[in-house]
Amino acid sequence: MASYFNDEHRMLRDMVREFAKNEVEPIADELDQNERFPSELVDQMGDLGLMGIPYPEDYGGAGMDTVAYALAVEELTKACSSTAITMAAHTSLGTFPIYQFGTEEQKQKYLPKMTSGEWLGAFGLTEPQAGSDASGTKTTAVPDGDEWIVNGAKMFMTNGGHAGVIVFTAVTDPDAENVGKGISCFIVEADTPGLVIGTKEKKMGWRASDTHQVFFEDMRLPKENLLGKLNHGYVQFMETLDGGRISVAAMGLGLAEAAFEASKKYVNEREAFGRKIKKFQGVSFPLADMKTKIEAARHLTFNAAQLKDEGKDFKLEAGMAKLYTSELATWAANQAVQTHGGYGYIKDFPVERYFRDAKILEIGEGTSEIQRLVIAREVLKDS
Ligand SMILES: Cc1cc2nc3c(=O)[nH]c(=O)nc-3n(C[C@H](O)[C@H](O)[C@H](O)COP(=O)(O)OP(=O)(O)OC[C@H]3O[C@@H](n4cnc5c(N)ncnc54)[C@H](O)[C@@H]3O)c2cc1C
């Protein structure tokens, strides 16, 4: 693993590991059971510089890279997936588009507030009729003098109810031949009239993360809130999702590791038929498989992150990392519950939470089917 990480990465990883162990893990069950958004942890992460890890210091970020960011996401996920996704959605989905596509004025205006954690970021792509097929966006933005008038609805917006700023897509050219080409990106601040935050979704996992439907009702935005080029929003958001897939990969890795560690501890304590259950191959072999797959997942994840940091094409690698680690997390969490027997099914052990938190990794930021589609397209494009 030496080639992915330098001393700065290791220092950050140790600091996040310490924070996760001391501040996040002790309240993870309570957050989950009460579906309580971890505001105090967001503040603490802001103070520690974790809300803008891959962004330049000029914009208030930590001036680090994607590898550092993925390490932090991995460590947070080991303790609490809800906290990890709050930070990850903010960083790679909410903040990235402004950093990557924004004007200098937009960056100066929004990034310092976001990288400090004062304003959480959120990302609005999915709609009731447009999920995997994001080109089916129905939200519209119609020019009116110096403003846009926006109408529509977004589904499942992570951080939606706590966001200071939301980036979202809307159709700006309904007559475009390919509807993906008639979509643009916009920035909206939370207190904008016409921005209506719907009720919080009740979820199987990630229960402390803040997921909302969001409505735009004759919402007026100044012209300068267009983000990036007019009618280029679809491509911009697809590029954003490529990076977001590294976040999900890091979460899958962290969750699989947590499932492995919990299982390792349990098989050393639990006895059956007069011996520790680790003595049964039926119990120990899944642990061998978990460890092997975790190492493979680590390489896939940090290879994709490193390629991104080197400015190389990483679409294929991010897709493979996301697909592999999310399916690994679901399998490993399931295996961990099995290893714990009946105790894995009750809330006294964290594996029950891991099991519920894992599934969404195969759905969010492109389902496993969509990852296979992206990967197949990439590997077959020259053939
Ligand atoms: C907790 C949570 C948080 C989320 N956070 C955000 C967020 O912050 N911002 C945001 O914009 N979205 C967010 N999402 C939305 C998420 O990205 C979508 O749910 C996901 O992309 C799938 O879209 P869908 O739910 O509409 O499913 P659909 O697109 O309707 O898919 C249904 C099924 O059909 C399959 N399918 C669809 N098309 C194909 C195809 N071409 N080939 C093969 N299979 C196909 C899918 O894989 C899936 O199995 C979140 C979702 C959840 C549950």
Alpha carbon separation from 209 to 201, 233, 260, 323 (Å, rounded): 10, 26, 24, 22
Provide the pLDDT for residue 178. 77
Provide the pLDDT for residue 246. 98
* Ligand 1 centroid, distance to 265 Cα (angstroms): 35
**Angle between the 233-269 and 66-79 helix axes, to the nearest 10 degrees?**
40
Whole-number mean pLDDT of the chain?
Answer: 97
Name the superfamily (CATH) of residues 122-233: Butyryl-CoA Dehydrogenase, subunit A, domain 2 (2.40.110.10)
- The stretch 27-46 carries a mean pLDDT of 98
| Cβ contact 178:133 at 8 Å | no
Is 35 strand, coil or helix? coil
The answer to whether residue 1 scores a pLDDT higher than 70 is: no
CA distance 319 to 60: 30
372 lines ligand 1 (CB under 6 A): no
**Which is nearest to 283 in space by CA: 299, 268, 298?**
268
Residues 6+ positions from 365 with CB-CB distance below 8 Å: 93, 241, 244, 245, 247, 248, 322
Pairing of strands 163-171, 226-227: unpaired
206 lines ligand 1 (CB under 6 A): yes
- The stretch 29-40 carries a mean pLDDT of 98
Equal fold, 122-233 vs 235-380:
no
Domain 7-119 has CATH 1.10.540.10: yes
Alpha carbon separation from 296 to 35, 123, 249 (Å, rounded): 33, 30, 12
* Ligand 1 centroid, distance to 67 Cα (angstroms): 26
Q: How many CB atoms lie within 10 A of CB 271?
A: 11
Single-letter residue type at 214: V
At 181, the pLDDT band (50, 70, 90 cuts) reads confident
Provide the pLDDT for residue 219. 98
Provide the pLDDT for residue 3. 83
Domain boundaries, the chain: 7-119, 122-233, 235-380
* Ligand 1 centroid, distance to 130 Cα (angstroms): 8
CATH of 235-380, one of 1.10.287.130, 1.20.140.10, 3.40.50.150, 1.10.3720.10: 1.20.140.10
153 lines ligand 1 (CB under 6 A): no
Q: Which of 35, 132, 169 is the best mutation target for the ligand 1 pocket, counting ligand atoms within 8 Å of the beta carbon and taking the most?
A: 132
| Cβ contact 121:165 at 8 Å | yes
Joined tokens for residue 216: 């735009």
| Cβ contact 97:228 at 8 Å | yes
pLDDT tens digits along 319-342: 999 999 999 999 999 999 999 999
**Range from 58-62, 122-126, 180-184, 236-240 carrying the lowest mean pLDDT:** 180-184
373 lines ligand 1 (CB under 6 A): yes
Is 216 strand, coil or helix? strand
Q: Which residue's alpha carbon is nearest to atom 25 within ligand 1?
A: 131
Active centre residues (catalytic): 365
22 lines ligand 1 (CB under 6 A): no
- DSSP code of 177? S
* Ligand 1 centroid, distance to 362 Cα (angstroms): 9
